[in-house]
Chains A and B, each alone.
Chain A
Amino acid sequence: MDGCYIGIDLGSTTTKAVIIDSDERVLGRGITNSRSNYELACQIAREEAEIDARFITLSQHLEQSRSVCEQREELMANLSSYYGLAHYLRQLKALSDDCLGARERWLCSEDEAEKICDALSFIFSEMEKDAPNEFQPEKLSQSDFFRDLASSAYMRHAERVCTERSLSFGRMIGLFDGAILRVENQSFAGDFEDYLEFARLKTLDDPRFATFGDPISTSVAATLNKTFNVINTVGTGYGRLTLPFDKQQIRSEILCHGLGAHFMFPKTRTVLDIGGQDTKAIQIDEKGIVTAFQMNDRCAAGCGRYLGYIADEMNMGVHQLGPMAMQSSKTVKINSTCTVFAGAELRERLALGEKREDILAGLHRAIILRAMSLLARSGGVMSEFTFTGGVAKNEAATSALKTLVIENYGDVTINISHDSIYTGAIGAALFAKRDPRGVMADLEISKLKVKKKAPQKMAGMASVAT
């Protein structure tokens, strides 16, 4: 098997990993939330990337089977969702065990504790029942982390249970919050083989796929047999200095973003990345090598964090800001991009009777204006331009950016990729591959267990395996 290379981008909110092969083809991508434990975040992101790569292998094998080919996508969606379900149930079990296991620390009467136990058991059994529904093939989304999925389901049930049984909702939330922190800081990908086996069996139960027993089993076997010979790993991102890597295996975000953007859009000469903590304007040459860059000055004005602050001020979710701003019919001018001052200015505008959507449109424009000046500082936009980072997912921000770039630099090509969150990790993987020193190091951070034990029936799955 050919060698492969891994890039890891340890960001302030999410950690991304990308695996490429020696022809610089992307084999798999993985993402997880960064948590407080960076090392674990790296491990999980990498595992996720490896799982992604294995699923791609699976898909390729199925494609070769003439009998499957028509239904391959449907089949893959089924396998993935059952895989996800199995993984979720395993985590849920751990969460439930953790919650109930902490009973002696609850500091309450026996009666009370009994009531809480009952309630918890009920909530988790309800969550388990809901799970298959959450993992319908058509609902699948990689960006939903366990924390988000579990917490919204838990809240839903806990709220009802607490009202019905007159229990303190706050207390129930507290129990969840403690447990999720601990569970989140464990990897459950080790049982990859079990999950996949579960997915295989469940899929074959489906009459639509009943005839595909052989191709599925062969493909699953091939997937499990696949090995990853990691030749080099490079880390980047906000937390890169905390990575357990050698200095030679660390590259700055700027360089990785430049090379990653070049990889995705080879004609790109200018890259703008607006992340949670900083904004970067990068100029690259025809090979993707950085020729100039600028970052926001020492305050975080105009970064993703600014939007978070505004969302708090307006009592909204960050993801709601963009859509609301898009409804604006006129833009209110906001002059402060200082995170602190913007709050005051926002309140002032609201007091003057301006509409929330119009103010929000103004705020988005203000952020992009800051970015425009960084772009100008770094040398402007001369030809193809790529926008990456978390804020690139915000429609109001991209729309303001497009307008301003075209107004100021003419009709240049503007790329906004949905995969842009992986830009840094891709760049890091490419650096890993191109490292002139040819560092040989597998960092042993993946703990995926494959072909080490016989498939077994998994606890907590019986109830859904009908």
Chain B
Amino acid sequence: MNIQVDIQKEDSMLIQKQMIAGHFEKLSKAKENNKKVVYTFVPGNLNELIRAFDMLPVHPEVNALQSGMRKMSGGYIQEAEKTGHSEDVCTYVKCDIGMMKKGNIGPTGLPLPKPDLLLLSYTGCFTFLKWFELLKQEYDCPIVMLQAPYQAEGEITPEMRDYVTKQLEEVVVPALEDVSGKKLDRDRLKELLESSARAEELLVDIWNSAKNKPSPIDAYFGGVFYIGPIFTAFRGLPECEDYYRILKAEVDYRVANKLGPVTPEGELNQQKYRIVIEGPPNWTSFRDFWKIFADEGVVMVASTYTKVGGLYENGFRHDPQRPLESLGEYCLGCYTNHSLPARVEILQNYIEDFEADGFLINSIKSCNSFSAGQLLMMREIEKKTGRAGGFIESDLVDPRYFSAANIKNRLESYFQMIEAKRVGA
């Protein structure tokens, strides 16, 4: 049976690999095929809208993290720093700028097309504004900005919803129409949104499968590696739904057979610690980072980072009946657009719902949107759940800011602390 599972497993991984390769292939041929290209961010991405205009999205953060995984980011960052960027600022930005200066070769080795439109979804991250201001200096193309106001009081007010919907209706859609040269096909948009909602249903089921013991998925490493990515560039398309159906079947099989997720170290069936994790991963040493956890028998049962591209567990779905409004709500609901008290609550719920032994914060130097205030969050969550928090530091794609020994040292202490608490000394 194991063989069959491995084949099934490889099915989903293979499919997602093909889908992504296909996407970059299309991007490399966009100009010759007269396809327009939109650069936009993962949080608050308007994929359905972009696809409704038959345009192709490019996500600079995804390129940056891919560069990190391919060990290219160090050089790109230095390239950007040579041109006056400070060592203090976000390395996604610097990696992207450096990559552009080095010819804009994408993760699959194919060149990326220049943007026809910069669609700045200002959602949950101030740096996004500056990032696209910087890109605007480099590319001779229009830019359009969509601001999703911050949920400072822990809710979406009617004024916030109106603001986003109006921007979509009056600014973003016209900009897309201008660039694409066609009117928005509202029926097509509805179709895409319907498909998104179905895929969202599947995705939520997959995330929730981690409530099983053993958990069939790793909701962080596996989450960013093969569960989440398809969602961003393909949401709304039939192949996205298909992918999640296959994945869901695999996960169901694992649950039925009490199997753990596949990690670089093999199948993690002996799960010693169930952990909830806050913050993005480190990409430059992604495998080493994952291995540290797998070696300790840790399975990540829930993560917040995988919700920067959208938070669906509380029932939000893209809604074909309210197309622009629901797109706006989607933007407003991304994880990093939540206030700190709300983030504490989200993590607290994860810890309780997924019966975690503890929670970890991977504090990322680049990302103040995540990181500023995490130490207070940790204290609050410890107080509220009685579960111990662990704290480690690294960076997104700056290889200079990843110390495996340092992280290992802390994690070892952390897991031993959990163990000691369990047995009592």
> Residues of A at under 8 Å CB distance from B?
251-255, 259, 287-295, 297-298, 377, 379, 430-431, 434, 436
Is the pair B406, A255 in contact by a Cβ cutoff of 8 Å? Answer: no
Is B205 an interface position by the 8 A CB rule? no
List the A side residues contacting B388 at CB < 8 Å.
Answer: 291-292
Is the pair A298, B382 in contact by a Cβ cutoff of 8 Å? Answer: no
- B366-425 CB contacts (< 8 Å) to partner A: 375, 379, 382, 388-389, 391, 393, 401, 403, 406, 409-410, 412-414, 416-417, 420-421, 423-425
- With both beta carbons as reference points, the residue of chain A lying nearest to B386 in the complex is identified as A291
List the B side residues contacting A434 at CB < 8 Å.
Answer: 425
- With both beta carbons as reference points, the residue of chain B lying nearest to A262 in the complex is identified as B425
21 A–B contacts, CB within 8 A, in A order: A252-B413, A252-B416, A254-B416, A287-B425, A289-B417, A289-B424, A290-B417, A291-B388, A291-B421, A292-B382, A292-B388, A292-B389, A293-B414, A293-B417, A295-B410, A298-B401, A298-B403, A298-B406, A377-B375, A430-B425, A434-B425
Is the pair B379, A252 in contact by a Cβ cutoff of 8 Å? Answer: no
Is the pair A254, B393 in contact by a Cβ cutoff of 8 Å? Answer: no
- With both beta carbons as reference points, the residue of chain B lying nearest to A430 in the complex is identified as B425
In this complex, which of B393, B414, B417 has the most chain A Cβ atoms within 10 angstroms of its Cβ? B417
> Residues of B at under 8 Å CB distance from A?
375, 379, 382, 388-389, 391, 393, 401, 403, 406, 409-410, 412-414, 416-417, 420-421, 423-425
List the A side residues contacting B416 at CB < 8 Å.
Answer: 251-252, 254-255
A298, B364: Cα distance in complex, Å: 12
Query: Given the interface contacts A298-B393, A298-B406, does A288 sit within 8 Å of B425 by beta carbon?
Result: yes
Is the pair A290, B423 in contact by a Cβ cutoff of 8 Å? Answer: no
Is the pair A252, B409 in contact by a Cβ cutoff of 8 Å? Answer: yes
What 6 A-B pairs are tightest by C-beta distance, nearest first? Answer: A252-B413, A254-B413, A290-B417, A289-B420, A252-B412, A252-B416
Is the pair B425, A289 in contact by a Cβ cutoff of 8 Å? Answer: yes
List the A side residues contacting B417 at CB < 8 Å.
Answer: 252, 254-255, 289-291, 293
Is the pair B393, A259 in contact by a Cβ cutoff of 8 Å? Answer: no
List the A side residues contacting B401 at CB < 8 Å.
Answer: 298
Is the pair B420, A290 in contact by a Cβ cutoff of 8 Å? Answer: yes
List the B side residues contacting A289 at CB < 8 Å.
Answer: 417, 420-421, 424-425
The answer, among A259, A292, A298, A379, for a CB contact under 8 Å with B425, is: A259
A119, B413: Cα distance in complex, Å: 53
Is the pair B391, A294 in contact by a Cβ cutoff of 8 Å? Answer: yes
A294, B416: Cα distance in complex, Å: 14
In this complex, which of A259, A291, A298 has the most chain B Cβ atoms within 10 angstroms of its Cβ? A298
A176, B266: Cα distance in complex, Å: 53
Q: A252-B409, A291-B388, A436-B423 given; name 19 further pairs at CB < 8 Å.
A: A252-B413, A253-B413, A254-B413, A254-B417, A255-B416, A255-B420, A289-B424, A290-B417, A290-B420, A291-B417, A291-B421, A292-B382, A292-B388, A295-B410, A297-B393, A298-B406, A379-B379, A431-B425, A434-B425
A255, B412: Cα distance in complex, Å: 10
A418, B414: Cα distance in complex, Å: 28
A379, B413: Cα distance in complex, Å: 17
A129, B375: Cα distance in complex, Å: 61
- Nearest-neighbour CB distance to chain A for B3, whole angstroms, equals 31
List the A side residues contacting B410 at CB < 8 Å.
Answer: 295
Is the pair A287, B382 in contact by a Cβ cutoff of 8 Å? Answer: no
A287, B425: Cα distance in complex, Å: 7
- Nearest-neighbour CB distance to chain A for B255, whole angstroms, equals 31
A197, B113: Cα distance in complex, Å: 85
List the A side residues contacting B375 at CB < 8 Å.
Answer: 377
- Nearest-neighbour CB distance to chain A for B303, whole angstroms, equals 22
- With both beta carbons as reference points, the residue of chain B lying nearest to A253 in the complex is identified as B413
A288, B424: Cα distance in complex, Å: 9
In this complex, which of A252, A287, A377 has the most chain B Cβ atoms within 10 angstroms of its Cβ? A252
A287, B416: Cα distance in complex, Å: 15
List the A side residues contacting B379 at CB < 8 Å.
Answer: 379
A256, B103: Cα distance in complex, Å: 53
- Nearest-neighbour CB distance to chain A for B208, whole angstroms, equals 30
List the B side residues contacting A252 at CB < 8 Å.
Answer: 409, 412-413, 416-417
A377, B393: Cα distance in complex, Å: 15
List the B side residues contacting A251 at CB < 8 Å.
Answer: 416
List the A side residues contacting B406 at CB < 8 Å.
Answer: 298
- With both beta carbons as reference points, the residue of chain B lying nearest to A379 in the complex is identified as B379
A293, B409: Cα distance in complex, Å: 12
A430, B409: Cα distance in complex, Å: 21
List the A side residues contacting B424 at CB < 8 Å.
Answer: 287, 289
- Nearest-neighbour CB distance to chain A for B379, whole angstroms, equals 7
- With both beta carbons as reference points, the residue of chain B lying nearest to A288 in the complex is identified as B425
Is the pair B413, A293 in contact by a Cβ cutoff of 8 Å? Answer: yes
A290, B422: Cα distance in complex, Å: 11
- Nearest-neighbour CB distance to chain A for B406, whole angstroms, equals 6
- With both beta carbons as reference points, the residue of chain B lying nearest to A434 in the complex is identified as B425
- With both beta carbons as reference points, the residue of chain A lying nearest to B423 in the complex is identified as A436
- With both beta carbons as reference points, the residue of chain B lying nearest to A250 in the complex is identified as B412
A254, B417: Cα distance in complex, Å: 9
A158, B295: Cα distance in complex, Å: 54
A293, B418: Cα distance in complex, Å: 12
List the B side residues contacting A255 at CB < 8 Å.
Answer: 413, 416-417, 420
List the B side residues contacting A436 at CB < 8 Å.
Answer: 423
A434, B423: Cα distance in complex, Å: 11
- Nearest-neighbour CB distance to chain B for A294, whole angstroms, equals 7
In this complex, which of B375, B388, B391, B401 has the most chain A Cβ atoms within 10 angstroms of its Cβ? B391
- With both beta carbons as reference points, the residue of chain A lying nearest to B417 in the complex is identified as A290
- With both beta carbons as reference points, the residue of chain A lying nearest to B411 in the complex is identified as A252
- Nearest-neighbour CB distance to chain B for A438, whole angstroms, equals 13
- With both beta carbons as reference points, the residue of chain A lying nearest to B412 in the complex is identified as A252
List the A side residues contacting B393 at CB < 8 Å.
Answer: 297-298
A436, B393: Cα distance in complex, Å: 32
A379, B389: Cα distance in complex, Å: 12
- With both beta carbons as reference points, the residue of chain A lying nearest to B375 in the complex is identified as A377
- Nearest-neighbour CB distance to chain B for A49, whole angstroms, equals 22
A391, B32: Cα distance in complex, Å: 68
A394, B261: Cα distance in complex, Å: 51
- Nearest-neighbour CB distance to chain A for B409, whole angstroms, equals 7
List the A side residues contacting B423 at CB < 8 Å.
Answer: 436
- Nearest-neighbour CB distance to chain A for B78, whole angstroms, equals 19
A436, B413: Cα distance in complex, Å: 18
- Nearest-neighbour CB distance to chain A for B187, whole angstroms, equals 54
- With both beta carbons as reference points, the residue of chain B lying nearest to A257 in the complex is identified as B413
A431, B401: Cα distance in complex, Å: 34
List the A side residues contacting B409 at CB < 8 Å.
Answer: 252, 295
A291, B401: Cα distance in complex, Å: 28
A288, B421: Cα distance in complex, Å: 10
A292, B389: Cα distance in complex, Å: 8
List the A side residues contacting B420 at CB < 8 Å.
Answer: 255, 289-290
A224, B257: Cα distance in complex, Å: 61
- With both beta carbons as reference points, the residue of chain B lying nearest to A373 in the complex is identified as B375
- Nearest-neighbour CB distance to chain A for B373, whole angstroms, equals 13
A293, B420: Cα distance in complex, Å: 14
A116, B50: Cα distance in complex, Å: 85
List the B side residues contacting A295 at CB < 8 Å.
Answer: 409-410
List the A side residues contacting B421 at CB < 8 Å.
Answer: 289, 291
A379, B391: Cα distance in complex, Å: 13
- Nearest-neighbour CB distance to chain B for A300, whole angstroms, equals 11
- Nearest-neighbour CB distance to chain B for A269, whole angstroms, equals 15
- With both beta carbons as reference points, the residue of chain B lying nearest to A255 in the complex is identified as B416
- Nearest-neighbour CB distance to chain B for A237, whole angstroms, equals 11
List the A side residues contacting B412 at CB < 8 Å.
Answer: 252
In this complex, which of B403, B417, B425 has the most chain A Cβ atoms within 10 angstroms of its Cβ? B425
List the B side residues contacting A259 at CB < 8 Å.
Answer: 425
A254, B425: Cα distance in complex, Å: 14
In this complex, which of B401, B414, B420, B424 has the most chain A Cβ atoms within 10 angstroms of its Cβ? B420
- With both beta carbons as reference points, the residue of chain B lying nearest to A287 in the complex is identified as B425
List the B side residues contacting A377 at CB < 8 Å.
Answer: 375
List the A side residues contacting B391 at CB < 8 Å.
Answer: 294
- With both beta carbons as reference points, the residue of chain B lying nearest to A295 in the complex is identified as B410
